[in-house]
Structure 1
Amino acid sequence: MSSRTIRALALATAALVASTAMAACGSQEEDTKTAAEAAAGNAPEASTLKLGYFPNITHAPALVGVNKKLYEEKLGSGTKLETKTFNAGPNAIEALLSGAIDATYIGPNPAINGWSKSKGEALKIIAGSTSGGAGLVVKEGINSPADLKGKKIATPQLGNTQDVALRAWLKQNGLNADTSGGGDVSVLPQDNATAIQAFTQGTIDGAWVPEPNYSKLIIEQKAKVLVDEKTLWPNQEFVTTHLIVSQKFLKEYPGTVKKLVEGHIASVEYIKANDAEAQKAANAQLEDLTSKPLKDEILKAAFANLKFTYDPIASSLYTSAKHAEDVGLLDPVDLKGIYDLTLLNELLKAKGLPAVSDAAA
């Protein structure tokens, strides 16, 4: 190789190294700039925020926040709020994955499945929302786990949060249930309206359901409580609903996400300070969405059985994932990084409130 060629190669290599260093430097400067903007409240904001939630009382912070226009108040005139409702977690996750929505209120197991399906790239949990409000109600004559052998029990959907809870509880009590309705106990996933009708007709013996169907079955159908799920958890707290956001949207518009979390905190605080008015607002939103408001007695019972909180109760999420693995409904998944509570804790600190944790225990 000639000395001229060697010199040319050396110059080319030097140029490549220099350009790579400049690119890296530029990337670091960009990240630093974005972080500084976020801290100063100047982070990029979206012209539209597409928010999902369910027409269900376990999503009361969303119902109240939308009804009372608390999100719009925090977002300001620069960002338009568009809402979309879902009846099942998997549908909401698909919408998030496709970009049809930017954020959504959702249960823990669909969030875990979305994280697993996307290999940890689709979403982040950014706040808690609701704890409690689920359990197993049964007909008279069933007084223990052993009495369930040969019985039919409904859940809202195969692999959903309550379905996993039931199957894990059965296994812990020496009973098995397969995904085809066989085993010691026949677990029959079906929508909540069908489950209530089936219990009324006597074609099922019980159901593990969330509010308000839990209270509906107790009050209207005289079902008895065999398991109040909160009694199975430390401090009687477990995540029922939390708020997740698309990682892409969070990265592009951290300013908008921060304002979404502000609206969420405002909604939770409104519910805590105005129980009766919050119940009315949630029910009005349910009526607007479904034309079927809850009866006052059921609404009051459901609210009393739920705790609304921005704490995601992270330890219960990790336990739920383990339960899903144990009953064969989830492949082993690494949940490290599923939470990003940075904006939530920043806002809580500004209010003089304690930070919340994403720890597994």
Structure 2
Amino acid sequence: MSMRTSVLSAAAVVMALGLAATGCGRAGDDGGEGGGPGTLTLGYFPNITHAPALVGVEDGTFADALGDVELQTQTFNAGPDAVNALFAGEVDATFIGPNPAISGWAQSDGAALRVIAGSTSRGAGLVVRPGIDSVEDLPGTTISTPQLGNTQDVALRWFAREQGWDVDTEGGGEVSILPQGNAEIIDAFVLGEIDGAWVPEPHLSRLVDEAGAELLVDETDLWPDTGGEFVTTHLIVSAEFLESDPEAVENLLRGHIETVDRINENPEDAQAAAISHLESLTGGEPDPEVVASAFENVTFTVDPIAPSLQGGAEHAEAVGLLDPVDLDGIYALEPLNGLLAEEGRDEVAGLG
């Protein structure tokens, strides 16, 4: 069995189990594990690329926007876990990276989820140890990514393919790609066990500021057709929840727009809110300088930057981590565009 098949089959098994357990119901219906009628359960990661979630939950913006609908939250450390929770009815909506959303869409034949807004763009790249001065120095090195098949893993494998290098999912080839958790990546880099990593913020800033790494490839340079913008995090919702409670989804989007605006207008206040929320989630206070650096390297926007999602899917297909997938219908941007139109703002576009 190929690695691509095994990864996708595992996701399909979990999805099937989740749907069977909930009868395909929304969170909380008839004994489901979510919050139930009158609630919205929102997923997100304790990560700066999920800052709109961190800030919006911390300052109560989402809760206020939802009104009589109670906000419940659940945090994750990996995209596949968040998708599986959506499949199982444990969350109604979640902030998530592009590749897990694409995989979830493919595995459910387009039935399980919709992308309803963008959240974060940019904020990822390849950092390396001193002495690696150019891309030509990379053959023979070991480079880590956060997880096999995740957004940064696909980005690195696509980059290697564009350079003409042979790589595989077993860590072999001209560049050895070693997927491991972000915390492990930092430890491995400090110990000299790896030569670099393709990672998102704030791990990129941590490696540079705390471990002496140097930025070799800024991923913004690899997306000229979108002006350097590419989706790092977007907001997805259960397709069933979107149909059953469109008002709650619209109000969630109201809170999301307000939060993104606040972050862009008052980044220092937003950083303080993000730090406070991360401390409550993890028990440790992030370095404010690392958080500030990470904020400078990302763009917060409700635009989903749809062409980059299509590009990411094509890249995953090209490197053998995704079967060909038709993304037509993955976006449900009408609620978001309706709210933007109310404020006299430009609408955002999906695919096609």
Is TM (by shorter chain) over 0.5?
yes
> Could you tell me which residue of structure 2 aligns to residue 25 of structure 1?
none
> Could you tell me which residue of structure 1 aligns to residue 25 of structure 2?
none
Structure 1 or 2, whichever has the larger Rg, is 1
Supply the AA of the counterpart residue of 2:129: K
Q: How many residues align?
A: 315
1:328-343 matched pairs, under 5 angstroms: 328-343=320-335
| 1:9-40 deviation line (CA, Å, top 9, x unaligned) | xxxxxxxxxxxxxxxxxxxxxxxxxxxxxxxx
Quote the offset at 1:174 in angstroms.
Answer: 1.1
- Inter-partner Cα distance in structure 1 for 2:166 and 2:204: 23
Q: Given the alignment, which residue of 198, 202, 205 partners 1:212?
A: 202
1:167-186 matched pairs, under 5 angstroms: 167-186=157-176
- Equivalent residue of 1:330, what SS? coil
Quote the offset at 1:148 in angstroms.
Answer: 1.2
- Inter-partner Cα distance in structure 1 for 2:110 and 2:279: 36
Query: Do the aligned partners of 2:271 and 2:291 also contact (CA within 8 Å) in 1?
Result: yes
1:222-241 matched pairs, under 5 angstroms: 222-234=212-224, 235-241=227-233
Structure 1 unaligned spans of 5+: 1-44
Tell whether 2:81 aligns with 1:79.
Answer: no
Quote the offset at 1:347 in angstroms.
Answer: 0.2
- Equivalent residue of 2:178, what SS? strand
Query: Do the aligned partners of 1:127 and 1:312 also contact (CA within 8 Å) in 2?
Result: yes
Q: Given the alignment, which residue of 234, 259, 276 partners 1:242?
A: 234
Tell whether 2:65 aligns with 1:55.
Answer: no
Q: Given the alignment, which residue of 172, 184, 189 partners 1:199?
A: 189
Query: Do the aligned partners of 2:41 and 2:74 also contact (CA within 8 Å) in 1?
Result: yes
- Equivalent residue of 1:298, what SS? helix
Supply the AA of the counterpart residue of 2:254: E
| 1:198-247 deviation line (CA, Å, top 9, x unaligned) | 00000000000000010011111111111011111131100000000000
- Equivalent residue of 1:260, what SS? helix
Q: Given the alignment, which residue of 59, 69, 72 partners 1:68?
A: 59
Query: Do the aligned partners of 2:275 and 2:288 also contact (CA within 8 Å) in 1?
Result: no
- Inter-partner Cα distance in structure 1 for 2:340 and 2:37: 23
> Could you tell me which residue of structure 2 aligns to residue 311 of structure 1?
303
> Could you tell me which residue of structure 2 aligns to residue 115 of structure 1?
105
- Inter-partner Cα distance in structure 2 for 1:291 and 1:357: 39
Q: TM (normalized to structure 2)?
A: 0.88
Query: Do the aligned partners of 2:328 and 2:351 also contact (CA within 8 Å) in 1?
Result: no
> Could you tell me which residue of structure 2 aligns to residue 159 of structure 1?
149
Tell whether 2:112 aligns with 1:103.
Answer: no
Q: TM (normalized to structure 1)?
A: 0.86
- Inter-partner Cα distance in structure 2 for 1:155 and 1:139: 15
- Inter-partner Cα distance in structure 1 for 2:133 and 2:318: 25
Supply the AA of the counterpart residue of 1:346: G
Query: Do the aligned partners of 2:143 and 2:178 also contact (CA within 8 Å) in 1?
Result: yes
Supply the AA of the counterpart residue of 2:59: K
> Could you tell me which residue of structure 2 aligns to residue 128 of structure 1?
118
Quote the offset at 1:328 in angstroms.
Answer: 0.2
> Could you tell me which residue of structure 2 aligns to residue 302 of structure 1?
294
- Inter-partner Cα distance in structure 1 for 2:123 and 2:320: 25
Structure 2 unaligned spans of 5+: 1-35
Query: Do the aligned partners of 1:137 and 1:225 also contact (CA within 8 Å) in 2?
Result: yes
- What RMSD in Å do the two structures reach over aligned CA positions? 1.0
Identical amino acids, percent of aligned pairs: 57
Quote the offset at 1:46 in angstroms.
Answer: 4.7
- Equivalent residue of 1:236, what SS? coil
Quote the offset at 1:99 in angstroms.
Answer: 0.5
Return structure 1 stretches of 4+ with deviation > 3 angstroms: none
- Inter-partner Cα distance in structure 2 for 1:294 and 1:233: 30
